[in-house]
Amino acid sequence: MKRVLIVSGIPWSHSNRGIDLITELFVEERFYVEHLVFPQYFTYKNKWNSFKIEENLENFRQIFSQNSIPFDDNHMFWLPKFLKKPIFMSHLRSVRNVDFNKFDIIVIESGKSVLLCDALPEEVFVIYRQSDPVWIMYKDNVMKDYEKKVYERANIILAPRLKIGLKVPDELQSKVRIWENGFNVPKVADYKNPYTENGKKRAVYLGYTPIHPETLEVVAWKNQDCEFHIIGNCISKASMVSILKRHKNVIFHGNLPADKYLGYIKYADFAFVPYAKIGALEYIGLNSKFLLFMFFGLPIVSYSVGAIDDNYGIFFANNLQDFSEKIEFVKKLGKTQYSIDWEYYSSEGRKSELKQILLNYDEIWDL
């Protein structure tokens, strides 16, 4: 039985995230899997309490890195290298409890996991899952340099769409495999309605991509007949506190596992995606967020993104006024039926395609 280490910033759960589907595939294929949650900060106390694994899996273990010095890209990217070096070194020291040499395969998720590049043994087969590229999501140039080192070290680079895969340097393109995001809806269909009945329409956002605080404030103020539910850490604490003081119809839920957030999506009236104006928008496509909203038939208002055309029936807005006007329209709509190949985008479809990609590598399988 080959041993796999999967490094992610969030504990494993049955979610629609690509790294969670990768974990599921290796567990189902009877690899021994350890899922390392990295990094951990002092501020994370009790953060993961809601991520409970109900199954008692013999070939799966969830482990956590030790505490390291926090690094907040938004506020610390400008620090000189000599000050950032001890911070990043503390991240490396935080995994002294992990024996990387005992694994045959290591899967690194994009994000702060790239800081572990120098800890990867030379003989280990490395898969880099580039769901949200560091070069898009981070301001810090040192972090971007670490991602380039992971490109060079990886045996496979799994990109979610061609537009992102093509950004890998030409000399490393042979490592790139396109594996699209999907969605994972558990077979249990009786999700409980988490909303309190108060006669208001419910709007939901799910994700970690930063959202635009001003847009949230404007639509909340103009639509007092709606509640706006935000799931995922996608806004600064300062903006959150400010919004909560002024808008009683905005609710922040923080990170939730799939068995908790699916009810909020199923029983919502519409979805809204008020992305902040970041460079990432050019590379966002039909991701798991949009697919989940579509699966449950929610009308969707979103700021325009670069890798989805208008054929899917999403209401794309180009500015705040346009976004607000589209909210006024979709809140009056009922459920929407989308023309999507659900089998292809389902968790089983995504795992099946991933297995076909990985079967090309003898280093992964005991044949």
Residues 319 and 214 in one domain: yes
Sheet (strand 176-178) strand order: 60-64, 32-37, 3-8, 105-109, 125-129, 156-159, 176-178
Residues 306-337: tens digit of each pLDDT: 767 666 789 999 899 999 999 999 999 989 98
What is the average pLDDT value for the chain, to the nearest integer?
Answer: 89
pLDDT value of residue 351: 93
CA-to-CA distance for 308 and 314, rounded, in angstroms?
Answer: 9
* Domain annotation covers residue 150: yes
* Domain annotation covers residue 11: yes
CA-to-CA distance for 223 and 341, rounded, in angstroms?
Answer: 34
pLDDT over threshold 80, residue 184: no
This prediction has a pTM of: 0.78
CA-to-CA distance for 39 and 221, rounded, in angstroms?
Answer: 37
Which has the minimum average pLDDT: 39-48, 152-161, 242-251, 353-362?
39-48
Residues 269 and 150 in one domain: no
CATH, residue 301: 3.40.50.2000
Domain of residue 28 covers 3-184+346-358
Residues 168 and 235 in one domain: no
Residues 265 and 286 in one domain: yes
Residues 137-146: tens digit of each pLDDT: 888 999 999 9
Residues 177 and 53 in one domain: yes
